[in-house]
Amino acid sequence: MRVRNINGASADICPCGGWLQHWKKFSRQTSTYCPVESCAEKAEAGAHVQKDGSHDERWFIIPLCKKHNAETGETLTINSTVTLVPAIAGTTCGK
């Protein structure tokens, strides 16, 4: 799956205790490593992404390492087993 990292979304607030916690809670997955192809770094951030090449403009959260999280606007190929969690706190954890 290909996603695009969204620039400037880190200022958004999630009541889960952070976007990585939000992803863990709603994906029901755990992530030790960054899901970007050929990356073996530790996943340390909940990153805001959009599906690349899709008309779907929704924002999602996935875990990424610091390096890939800093690559805003870049298209990333990620492991297909990673669940994309909606980044809308009001309809998930904000209820």
Domain count, the chain: 1
List the structure tokens of 31.
């992530």
Write down the pLDDT at residue 73: 82
List the structure tokens of 71.
């690559």
Q: How far are the Cα atoms of 2, 10, 30, 36 from residue 79, in angstroms, in the given order?
A: 9, 23, 14, 6
Domain that includes residue 36, residue range: 2-91
Write down the pLDDT at residue 13: 74
Contacts of 6 (CB under 8 A, 6+ apart): 47, 48, 49, 50, 59, 72, 73
- Nearest 5°: the CA angle 14, 54, 10 is 25
Write down the pLDDT at residue 74: 85
Write down the pLDDT at residue 8: 62
Radius of gyration (C-alpha) of the chain in whole angstroms: 12
**Successive 10-residue mean pLDDT values, the chain, 95 residues:** 81 79 92 92 94 88 94 90 86 65
